[in-house]
Amino acid sequence: MRKGIAITAAAAAALGLTAASITPATAASSRLLTRGPDGVTIDIATVNGSGCPAGTAAVAISDDKEAFTVTYSDYMAQAGGSSKPTDGRKNCVISMKVHVPQGFTYAISQTDYRGYAYLEKGATAVQKASYWFQGNSPTGVIQHNLPANHQNNWQYTDKIAVDALVWKKCGEQRNFNINTEIRATAGTDKTKTSFIAMDSTDGSIKTKYHFSWKTCP
């Protein structure tokens, strides 16, 4: 576990999908924004997991304040061949302190996951994610199953309808947590290795989270 990784930028956001994070009355009395406010910062409180060893994860915020990207450099699950049993599942939990100017709050409306997988005959692979604000229970897992014999790039997009967005409560400071996971199982021939990685074309592993912003009532 690593602490104290600080990132400052003009805007940032986080995602939660638990109903306890907002009430319908709050949503109805607030105004959605086309872009985020200035003066927002993110502090990475902790980064922990077998998929993100020390020094292999980072967060960057887009210039237009509409997204942030988590980049990994050693996030791969594999099975078969000389793989160990523990190699078949990898995960990463990132806890963020998101500081927002008074009068604003945030949610995530879309998440883009991308990577590469090489699955031998009979092998399987999945990508999972869950999100929550500190003090709330984790969301139900959003899972994607890769098709049989997949041997190429993959990309999944999770979109949340406007009326289903869940926002951090106005005036409260709660860490926002992201837990991602990838799994692989061996194929029919156990001597051959199959793997899945969140791996972009430049060799790093990137996941992009898209912001939604609104004013507090």
- pTM, to two decimals: 0.77
- Best-predicted range by mean pLDDT (9-18, 43-52, 133-142, 177-186): 177-186
What distances in angstroms separate CA 61 from CA 40, 55, 112, 122, 124, one per listed residue?
A: 10, 18, 15, 39, 33
Q: Does the pLDDT at position 56 exceed 70?
A: yes
Helix/strand/coil (H/E/C) assignment for every residue in the chain? CEEEEEEECCCCCCCECCHHHCCHHHHHCCCEECCCCCCCEEEEEEEECCCCCCCCEEEEECCCCCEEEEEECCCEEEECCCCCHHHHEEEEEEEEEEECCCCEEEEEEEEEEEEEEECCCCCEEEEEEEEEECCCCCCCCEEEECCCCCEEEEEEEEECCHHHCECCCCCCCCCEEEEEEEEEECCCCCCCCEEEECCCCCCCEEEEEEEEEEECC
pLDDT in tens, 77-129: 999 999 999 999 999 998 888 888 889 888 888 889 999 999 999 999 999 98
pLDDT band at 68 (very low <50, low <70, confident <90, very high): confident
Q: What is the rounded average pLDDT of the residues 137-141?
A: 73
Q: Does the pLDDT at position 162 exceed 80?
A: no
